């Protein structure tokens, strides 16, 4: 891989320095990123997507903190799966994951054939909001989260949204066979959520699941400690 250093001069004091393909970054890729990606995929039952070596890594980048040990990093595999990593000192975790599946389509002025193809996706849906929540909770637990640390059946239960597409002949759009479920930490208050407090909104775990094959599409962990909910 090429050695490329991107250093925005005006941002050095505020943002990480992004480095791609140096010796230190290659070591981080092989010793942290690939093994953690393998473990993550093992947990969610997607071993067919395993990165077995660097030849299955399409791209990656590492951004080191300039005020403390650690970094953020991203890796994309040749099959389109993408991972985000976060390191503080000696601890590293995957804080987001995304498969190459679109869960939103803007079909305003799109050809009829494309609209019909997206509409056909909904015919494969095997879930509803209740069963999607149950499925997402399975992945939530497999990835190490505990329901008792989050709001469940109290004042702010997990949000379940069905993904959608917009546009079409009537400009109304329709639903897709994909669902997004959001859990809020228990220390987030109703007032913070009602006030759209930006930090409170990031004390979340967000999971997308597929109604076609019951797989996990994406995962995002907000402002939570490495390796735990609190």
pLDDT by 10s per residue, the chain, length 230: 333 333 333 333 333 444 456 899 999 999 999 999 999 999 999 988 777 778 899 999 999 999 999 999 999 999 999 999 999 988 999 999 999 999 999 999 999 999 999 999 999 999 999 999 999 999 999 999 999 999 875 567 789 999 999 998 888 899 999 999 999 999 998 889 889 898 888 999 999 999 999 999 999 999 899 999 98
CB 97 within 8 Å of CB 84 = yes
CB 140 within 8 Å of CB 184 = no
- In a 13 Å sphere around the CA of 184, the CA atoms on its Cβ side amount to 23
The reply to whether the predicted model has a pTM over 0.85 is yes
Dihedrals phi, psi of 106, to nearest 5 degrees: -100, 105
For residue 180, the surrounding DSSP H or E stretch is strand 174-184
CA nearest neighbour of 88 among 172, 158, 16, 180? 16
């Amino acid at each position: 891989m090429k050695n490329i250093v991107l250093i925005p001069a005006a941002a050095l004091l505020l943002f990480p320095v992004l480095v791609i393909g140096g010796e230190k970054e290659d070591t981080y890729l092989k010793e942290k990123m690939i093994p953690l990606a393998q473990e993550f995929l093992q947990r969610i039952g997607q071993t067919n997507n395993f990165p077995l070596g660097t030849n299955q890594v399409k791209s990656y980048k590492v951004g080191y903190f300039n005020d403390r040990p650690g970094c953020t990093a991203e890796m994309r595999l040749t099959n389109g799966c993408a991972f985000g990593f976060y390191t503080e000192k000696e601890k590293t975790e995957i804080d987001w994951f995304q498969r190459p599946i679109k869960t939103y389509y803007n079909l305003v002025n799109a050809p009829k054939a494309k609209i019909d193809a997206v509409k056909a996706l909904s015919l494969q849906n095997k879930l509803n909001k209740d069963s999607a929540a149950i499925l997402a909770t399975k992945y939530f637990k497999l990835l190490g989260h505990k329901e008792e640390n989050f709001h469940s059946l109290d004042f702010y239960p997990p949000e379940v949204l069905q993904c959608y597409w917009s546009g079409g002949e009537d400009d109304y759009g329709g639903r897709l066979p994909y669902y997004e479920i959001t859990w809020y930490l228990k220390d987030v208050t109703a007032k913070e959520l009602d006030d759209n407090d930006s930090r409170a909104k990031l004390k979340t775990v967000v999971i997308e699941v597929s109604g076609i094959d019951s797989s996990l599409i994406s995962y995002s962990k907000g402002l939570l400690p490495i390796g735990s909910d609190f």
